Structure 1
């Protein structure tokens, strides 16, 4: 009965079929970071061009992905995952600190990770936009995770008397939009400031949300 050939399952060159498959996938994702995050961008990249950049065949591409959109989706999740891991690693350092210092440590960890490679910013903030309803849903879902993180931290600060008690969801969503826009503009060279200056400004904005004018720390909860 005719059908799609099965991938080999034995060991070859000292590596299992699963290891070889993971390596191929990694090579496609690395090539996509270069092409989607740099030139020519997602919309101008073909399967043939991506396969060539990865040093693999188009047949091998279709063994790993169905479409280029699948590659962009995987890469977008990976870029966000790297940033989440950087913030999670910073929590140990930030845990005992006062609010402003805590926010600064956590946000600097995020900003440094995202801006460590301009291609990551392009994947997270530019190439993902407007591709399809599916990717828009994924983008909004990942943004919602960041909003939830800010709300969790804000509510914990409010419970300690370090921030004003309120529903932070709308403010957190607005703040994430500011973060995305400013970091993108800074990475593109449109903002004449150091990364520390950018982080400081965004932290000031967030602290202003947490501690509005007229609110007194330790006041009524």
Structure 2
């Protein structure tokens, strides 16, 4: 996903219109599932170690954790009180998803995805394509799998080769990463459904990390 044809003075929303419909993308895939289906997991495949509930909760968690976490000082130097509920989230102590006690039902998690869409939309509306490309954040704790992820980023991610695991990400690359996380974990949700004999519902966008040539696309 690269948009070099979009001018720097274009609104930020023109680069990432997908964020307006994150809940609408995810919700049909989990509608009507039982708690047993949502919570099923297996150690047979790497992608099945997280349940559907955890995969969707990760989708809900990833947007605020980046925009209110790593980008907080640059994007919200005056604080986040003006954001209302869009500026609130509680991370789980058990994994990379939302706190289970605060968001106990799938409905709660889907509402959090909607708030993440709102948060992303506010940030994008306040930026231009040029500012998304220019703003940059350091990431000294970059996980090793980003050596694979970077293949999906034609621009906006660079390694500081003098420091192991140290990268810089532009705001544009951050939004690209967030969208790719949504799509790729939704792909995992579909595989988890197939592993339980269920049918996938959503026509998955063929973009993101799951489309990389060396990605594990094993099926049940």
Same-fold call, TM > 0.5?
no
Structure with a larger share of its residues in strand: 2
TM-score range, shorter chain: under 0.3
TM-score of the superposed pair, with normalisation by structure 1? 0.27
Structure with a larger share of its residues in helix: 1
TM-score of the superposed pair, with normalisation by structure 2? 0.27
Larger radius of gyration: 1
